[in-house]
Structure 1
Amino acid sequence: MPSWQGKSKGNKLGYRIFIGILRYGGVYPAYFLLRFVAAYYFLFSWSSSKPIYRYFHEKIGYSRLKSLFSLYSNYYIFGQTIIDKVVVMADMGNKFTFDFDGEEHLRQLVAGGKGGIMLSAHLGNWEVAGHLFKRLNARINIVMFDGEHQRIKEYLASVTGGRNVNIIVLKDDLSHIYAINEALSNQELVCMHADRFLPGNKTMTADLLGSPAHFPLGPFLLAATFRVPVCGVYAFKESATHYHFYSTEPKVYNGRREQELALNDFVAGMEEKIRKYPTQWFNYYDFWVE
């Protein structure tokens, strides 16, 4: 089964072109150019298209034709989320609006004074709700793979200024565990994706959309070991300039015996959101156990 390799596609020139368009023309010209980029991936990137097409056809149950249309839509929306993320992080002028379901849960997480973990997935684009995190008056630590090419990361950092968040990079020497522990000890919030892992990482298995799939052990082990409140967080694009943010109620998992419960709760919430926003799961490899 092909696995995710921890890297994203794209190059520095592509980012530079889109950011230049955003600065001088706004999101709509960038979205127009994006239609051609999405068409390129739709036509020529079979390695990433195949698993997404199978997801629409076999797991969601779409017809072959609808699966093809949904495949193109998935690429196009994915590109939009990247553009939107840069616009929001760099404080560029925009007309984005937001609905918030569960903001009170995040405020409860902060008010608890124990820190907390926010679990998400490669669903939607929750990062665009960063201004909500500003209102929380809490430090946010995002745990992520060091999968982007260094030049792209440096260029985006120069554009966005690295605002609002602290990045904790997952490393083979497990130094990220100490960084997470320090963040939680300081009553800070830690956010991580819980739907991907690199080859060789320890995993757990749960049913998603009717078939068993592997999930990384780490996020659920951390949630159960540190015994801090855990929320699921997502944000989905509902129109060109409107997003809907969701947060679940905080829940504490008491010890390693409950890490499977943490996984099952996460997968149940993830499946609910996939069925509601099927074209906004950006998963370009074979996800299910074969």
Structure 2
Amino acid sequence: MAEWEGKSRGNKTGYGIFIAVLKKLGVLPAYLLLLFVAAYYFLFSWKSSRAIWYYLRKRLGFPLLKSLISLYKNYYWFGQALIDRIVMMAGISNRFTFNFDGEQHLHEMVAAGNGGLLLSAHIGNWEIAGHLLKRLNTRINIVMFDGEHQQLKQYLENTTGQRNANIIVIKDNISHIYEIMEALNNNELVCMHSDRFLPGNKTLPADFLGKSAHFPQGPFALATKLNVPVSFVFAMKESLYHYHFFATPGVVYRNKPGISSEKVLEAFVDAMTEKVKQYPTQWYNYYDFWK
């Protein structure tokens, strides 16, 4: 099974079609069109389906019928996540509602004046939360691989909206580390997706859903080296128009007795496992994570 290649699913043509539907007809017709697009991926995208099928059947232990239904739902929820990002960034009329658990922890980070590190995963829809958290009165920086960044630029070219978040692109010359440090020095928040890595990157093993898997070392090493609070954050979709944001209390791991990168990873995996089990069809992982 293939490794992750540094970019997510979707293409410029597909985004363009949905943007046209959104602007002319609204969100609900786009969701109806998505029913057929999700069915196509469900029936014909064998490589990505194998990865999700293994996760549902072997790691979560779902029975056959529930796994089939959940596989289709996974594609449908993922399509909704892409649509919702465009809607929020382009300022398209919508009926979205939100509630926040732990938002006060992020306000406390900003009030402390040292910035903060937010560790998340490809679960739910972080882009939605990033757009809304502008009320924290600080800039949010999202660290991502160049493949994901270029893909994001493709569909931003077709919208009139502006992102609240700043993108920090991971580079081979580690210049992104200096951008992260500058953001934190400016009392900004830095969000890193911590469940994917490119071949050749340093990793750490951890037990995840009953089997050892590898996670990128970088986010957890930074968490122990930086003198800033670290929070685990997730934004999950709970119904057609409603999102639920979660943030754990900020913890400063630097110089904390007995703390290592592995210990921070262990805490993150616990939080990630809780969300995956609570929202099993919203982890958008289309490669062999346990390879």
- What is the distance in 2 between the residues matched to 1:132 and 1:80? 17
**1:7 counterpart residue number:** 7
**In the TM superposition, what are the counterparts of 1:101-250 in structure 2 within 5 Å?**
101-148=101-148, 150=150, 153-250=153-250
SS at match of 2:289: coil
2:260 alignment partner AA: E
SS at match of 2:228: coil
SS at match of 1:61: coil
- What is the distance in 2 between the residues matched to 1:226 and 1:248? 18
**1:253 counterpart residue number:** 253
Does the 8 Å contact 2:130/2:140 carry over to 1?
no
1:216-246 CA deviation, whole Å, 9 max, x = no partner? Answer: 0000111111121001111111110001110
1:80-121 CA deviation, whole Å, 9 max, x = no partner? Answer: 011011111222111100111111111111111101101100
Tell whether 2:79 aligns with 1:79: yes
- What is the distance in 1 between the residues matched to 2:17 and 2:118? 33
1:180-208 CA deviation, whole Å, 9 max, x = no partner? Answer: 11111222110110000000000001111
1:53-75 CA deviation, whole Å, 9 max, x = no partner? Answer: 01111111111221111101100
1:150-209 CA deviation, whole Å, 9 max, x = no partner? Answer: 476244145154421111001111111111111112221101100000000000011111
Unaligned runs of 5+ in 2: none
Does the 8 Å contact 2:16/2:158 carry over to 1?
no
SS at match of 2:159: helix
**1:95 counterpart residue number:** 95
Does the 8 Å contact 1:12/1:152 carry over to 2?
no
1:51 alignment partner AA: A
Tell whether 2:291 aligns with 1:286: no
**2:24 counterpart residue number:** 24
- What is the distance in 2 between the residues matched to 1:80 and 1:131? 16
Return closer, same or farther for 1:154/1:54 CA change in 2, 3 Å cut-off.
closer
Deviation for aligned residue 1:146: 1.2
Does the 8 Å contact 1:141/1:166 carry over to 2?
yes
2:71 alignment partner AA: L
SS at match of 1:270: helix
Return closer, same or farther for 1:157/1:265 CA change in 2, 3 Å cut-off.
farther
Runs of 4+ in 1 over 3 A off after TM superposition: 148-152
2:196 alignment partner AA: R
Give the TM-score, by structure 1 length.
0.95
- What is the distance in 1 between the residues matched to 2:157 and 2:112? 32
Q: Aligned match of 2:275 in 273, 276, 287? A: 273
**2:264 counterpart residue number:** 262
2:102 alignment partner AA: G
1:84 alignment partner AA: D
